[in-house]
């Protein structure tokens, strides 16, 4: 995309590049660029570097520690981070629960939780989906029964990403009786993961990694003061949180960088065969993804401009999520096609920093199948793409 930056914006871009060059640890950058396994410490280390610079909370209001950047500055920041191989800020605290706390939380809650989120002293996870409540999230059954100044929580949450690291979890729980409509019987609770009665059970993926979990609540006592906003109004807050999540899921800057890297790898010859970049059919496939990505980028810019005025993302967040994740999967498919039979072997060690994959494929292509399969989830989490289509039809098209 060609954007005419002002002198001030060009100076900001120079400052960002200098900061990333000086402060982004090389090992972390290489892990991101090569798609290798990231440890909790990698994310925390980078987020604390951002905190010390004052650049951790790009989208927060200034009064709570935000940068106060314009939409153009945010655009510059995201693109420069993607080019440099900076990891995304872990979303659960910074991008998901924090906006709910500073928008709907009490002053006590803001003072208690926001500073630790900003400094990355606390790791958060999300308690939304349940074994029988995914896309139909309002049907959740984890119950919170009030007893005096506490709620007693019982139930199970599933697909809890990186919950094994979490200090706190933000949960949707049922606080209304069966006679109340589903959406009008849900509350939003903040729960300390060290509370007695909480058990985290790992879910191992097909590649053997421990990324997600089930979290079980057995008579877990939660202070009423940890409820966000009013009782039975949690569905309202949850919908706002999901718009923030879906906006971040678009991943435009990262997709641009991945597509650029893909095009470079396609210029490499292998086993005496012609460069794939010269194949007309391949060129058409890449061009189609590139055009979609360019259109999505303009939509993201319009959304950033709206958010910078203090508004929460609207239904355009569904467009960003829908198209953004489809583009991510299209790039995955192109990577597998580029790798060919080199994508077939699975060597778990290849996702560790420092592993030499030259024996199983050129140009870091051997892990393309692993990424392909893992990223199938992107069109499901944050509300499946079928749900996003329904939202767009109703809220944008008026159907």
Q: How many domains does the chain have?
A: 3
Does residue 104 belong to any structural domain of this protein?
Answer: no
Do 273 and 371 have their domain in common? yes
| Domain endpoint, select from 163, 197, 232 | 232
Q: pTM for the whole thing?
A: 0.83
The CATH number linked to 188 is 2.40.110.10
Do 275 and 177 have their domain in common? no
- DSSP helix/strand/coil, 191: strand
Does residue 162 belong to any structural domain of this protein?
Answer: yes
Does residue 245 belong to any structural domain of this protein?
Answer: no
pLDDT above 70: residue 308: no
Identify which of 244, 236, 311, 209 has the alpha carbon closest to the alpha carbon of residue 93.
244
Among 245, 297, 300, 316, the one annotated catalytic = 245
pLDDT above 60: residue 359: no
Among 99-113, 279-293, 338-352, 360-374, whose mean pLDDT is lowest? 360-374
Does residue 243 belong to any structural domain of this protein?
Answer: no
* CB-CB contact of 61 with 310 (8 Å): yes
Do 382 and 266 have their domain in common? yes
Average pLDDT over every residue of 177-182: 78
Top-confidence residue, 277 or 10:
10
Neighbours of 357 (CB within 10 A): 19
CA separation for the pair 229, 103 (Å, rounded): 10
Q: What is the pLDDT of residue 17?
A: 97
* CB-CB contact of 124 with 117 (8 Å): yes
Per-residue tokens: 28: 């972390």
Do 134 and 208 have their domain in common? yes
Do 155 and 204 have their domain in common? yes
Tell me the pairing of strands 143-147 and 227-228.
unpaired
Confidence label for 153 from pLDDT (cuts 50, 70 and 90): very high
Average pLDDT over every residue of 43-63: 95
Does residue 66 belong to any structural domain of this protein?
Answer: yes
Top-confidence residue, 280 or 55:
55
Q: What is the pLDDT of residue 398?
A: 78
Q: How far is CA 335 from CA 8, 183, 262, 339, in A?
A: 38, 41, 7, 6
* CB-CB contact of 195 with 169 (8 Å): no
Q: What is the pLDDT of residue 2?
A: 46
CA separation for the pair 131, 140 (Å, rounded): 9
Confidence label for 245 from pLDDT (cuts 50, 70 and 90): low
Do 289 and 362 have their domain in common? yes
Q: How buried is 161 (Cβ within 10 angstroms: 0-12 exposed, 13-18 middle, 19+ buried)?
A: middle
DSSP letter at 123 equals: -
CA–chain centroid gap for 79, Å, is 16
pLDDT above 90: residue 1: no
245 part of the active site: yes
Q: What is the pLDDT of residue 347?
A: 63
Neighbours of 125 (CB within 10 A): 27
Confidence label for 270 from pLDDT (cuts 50, 70 and 90): low
Does residue 264 belong to any structural domain of this protein?
Answer: yes
What is 315-330 written as a DSSP string? THHHHHHHHHHHHHHH
Q: What is the pLDDT of residue 16?
A: 98
Q: Residue 13 is part of which domain span?
A: 7-89
Bridge partners of 156, per DSSP, are 216
Do 138 and 84 have their domain in common? no
Do 140 and 53 have their domain in common? no
Q: What is the pLDDT of residue 72?
A: 84
């Amino acid at each position: 995309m060609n954007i005419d930056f002002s002198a001030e914006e060009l100076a900001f871009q120079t400052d960002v590049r200098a900061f990333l060059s000086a402060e982004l640890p090389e090992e972390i950058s290489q892990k991101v660029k090569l798609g290798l396994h990231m440890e909790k410490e990698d994310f925390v280390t980078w987020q604390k570097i951002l905190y010390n610079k004052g650049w951790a909370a790009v989208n927060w209001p200034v009064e709570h520690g935000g940068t106060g950047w314009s939409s153009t500055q945010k655009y510059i920041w995201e693109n420069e981070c993607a080019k440099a191989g900076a990891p995304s800020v872990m979303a659960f605290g910074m991008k998901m629960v924090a906006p709910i706390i500073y928008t709907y939380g009490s002053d006590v809650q803001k003072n208690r939780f926001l500073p630790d989120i900003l400094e990355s002293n606390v790791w958060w996870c999300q308690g939304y989906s349940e074994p029988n409540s995914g896309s139909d999230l309002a049907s959740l059954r984890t119950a919170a029964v009030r007893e005096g100044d506490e709620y007693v929580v019982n139930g199970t949450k599933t697909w809890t990403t990186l919950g094994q690291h979490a200090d706190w979890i933000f949960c949707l729980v049922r606080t209304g009786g069966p006679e109340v409509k589903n959406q009008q019987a849900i509350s939003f609770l903040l729960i300390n993961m060290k509370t007695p009665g909480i058990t985290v059970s790992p879910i191992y993926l097909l590649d053997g990694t421990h990324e997600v979990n089930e979290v079980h609540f057995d008579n877990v006592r939660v202070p009423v003061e940890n409820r966000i906003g009013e009782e039975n109004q949690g569905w309202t807050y949850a919908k706002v949180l999901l718009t923030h999540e879906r906006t971040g899921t678009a991943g435009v800057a990262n997709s641009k960088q991945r597509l650029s890297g893909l095009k470079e790898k396609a210029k490499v010859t292998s086993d005496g065969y012609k460069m794939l970049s010269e194949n007309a059919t391949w060129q058409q496939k890449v061009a189609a993804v590139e055009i979609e990505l360019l259109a999505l980028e303009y939509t993201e810019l319009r959304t950033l401009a709206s958010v910078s005025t203090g508004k929460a993302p609207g239904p355009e967040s569904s467009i960003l999520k829908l198209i953004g994740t489809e583009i991510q999967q299209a790039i995955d498919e192109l990577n597998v096609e580029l790798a060919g039979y080199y994508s077939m072997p699975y060597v778990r060690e290849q996702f560790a920093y420092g592993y030499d994959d030259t024996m199983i494929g050129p140009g870091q292509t051997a892990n393309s199948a692993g990424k392909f399969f893992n990223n199938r989830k992107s069109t499901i989490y944050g509300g499946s793409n079928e749900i996003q289509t329904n939202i767009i039809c109703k809220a944008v098209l008026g159907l």
